[in-house]
């Protein structure tokens, strides 16, 4: 059976309509794409905050210069110098003999104080955090480094609403374990960022700080950033 020119045109239009209807049907049942996804990152270790730099002093104003005295006119008579009065020397009284000082007893030698636990015999200033004597991160020869990261879970109360940042203070002991954890900053508070950051910090492992080649307890700050992308 042969089709005329009009028949081919009608057949082509029908095929296009069928393809369009099929495409609309697939788009109707396709799942909607999730426009938001959540990202949590761990920033590098940081030591305690440094104090603000002193402001430069204002430039000192120049000291006033005293005016030079005007010369006396030549016609004015010059003042005569006053006669110098001679003063007879006064005899000083002879000092009485001082008694001989008694020799002071030599100071007692005290035994050296015991070294704090966890310092491995290294000398230097330490801070007591809870029950640990720890060094500041800026005072050790080699600061601690993260060997195993643990990222926090994005809090359900903050999903799709807010972003946040949390800073956790902790002591990395001589075995690389985090101890004496404490949240020192949370923005914003009350959305569960603090609990999520503390849980991740407990699971993080470190290489301990060193002083003179020996591991020591070190105080560090661990920051976490919660972002919605």
Higher-scoring residue by pLDDT: 45, 210: 210
Phi, then psi, of 195 in degrees rounded to 5: -65, -40
Instruction: Residue count of the chain, please give it.
Output: 229
Q: Are residues 201 and 179 in contact, defined by beta-carbon separation less than 8 angstroms?
A: no
pLDDT per position as a tens digit, 125-182: 688 988 899 999 999 999 999 999 999 999 999 988 899 999 999 999 999 999 999 9
User: In this predicted structure, what is the pLDDT of residue 33?
Assistant: 43
Helix (H, G, I), strand (E, B) or coil at 102: coil
Query: Among residues 152, 184, 177, which one has the least CA distance to residue 48?
Result: 184
pLDDT per position as a tens digit, 63-75: 555 555 555 555 5
Instruction: With a cut of 50, say whether residue 29 has pLDDT above it.
Output: no
User: In this predicted structure, what is the pLDDT of residue 126?
Assistant: 81
| Confidence band, pLDDT 50/70/90 cuts, at residue 211 | very high
Q: Which fold has domain 36-48+116-229?
A: TolA/TonB C-terminal domain (3.30.2420)
| Confidence band, pLDDT 50/70/90 cuts, at residue 7 | low
User: In this predicted structure, what is the pLDDT of residue 81?
Assistant: 58
Give the C-alpha separation, 209 to 94, whole Å: 69
Write down the domain spans for the chain: 36-48+116-229
Strand (E) or helix (H) holding 214: strand 214-216
pLDDT per position as a tens digit, 70-126: 555 555 455 565 555 555 555 555 666 666 666 666 656 555 444 444 444 445 668
- 17-36 mean pLDDT: 55
């Amino acid at each position: 059976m042969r089709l005329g020119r009009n028949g081919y045109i009608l057949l082509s239009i029908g095929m296009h309509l069928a393809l369009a209807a099929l495409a609309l049907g697939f788009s109707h049942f396709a799942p909607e794409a999730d426009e938001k996804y959540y990202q949590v990152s761990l920033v590098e270790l940081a030591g305690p905050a440094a104090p603000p730099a002193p402001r430069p002093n204002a430039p000192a104003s120049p000291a006033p210069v005293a005016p030079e005295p005007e010369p006396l006119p030549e016609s004015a008579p010059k003042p005569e110098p006053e006669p110098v009065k001679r003063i007879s020397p006064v005899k000083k009284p002879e000092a009485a003999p001082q008694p001989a000082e008694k020799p002071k007893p030599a100071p007692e030698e005290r035994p050296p104080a015991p070294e704090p636990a966890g310092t491995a015999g290294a000398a230097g200033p330490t801070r007591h955090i809870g029950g640990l004597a720890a060094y500041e991160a800026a005072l050790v020869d080699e600061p601690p480094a993260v060997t195993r990261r643990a990222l926090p879970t994005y809090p359900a109360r903050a999903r799709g609403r807010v972003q946040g940042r949390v800073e956790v203070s902790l002591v990395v002991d001589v075995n690389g374990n985090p101890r004496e954890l404490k949240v020192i900053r949370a923005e914003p508070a009350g959305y569960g960022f603090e609990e999520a950051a503390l849980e991740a910090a407990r699971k993080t492992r470190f290489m301990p700080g060193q002083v003179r080649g020996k591991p020591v307890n070190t105080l560090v700050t661990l920051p976490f950033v919660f972002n919605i992308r």
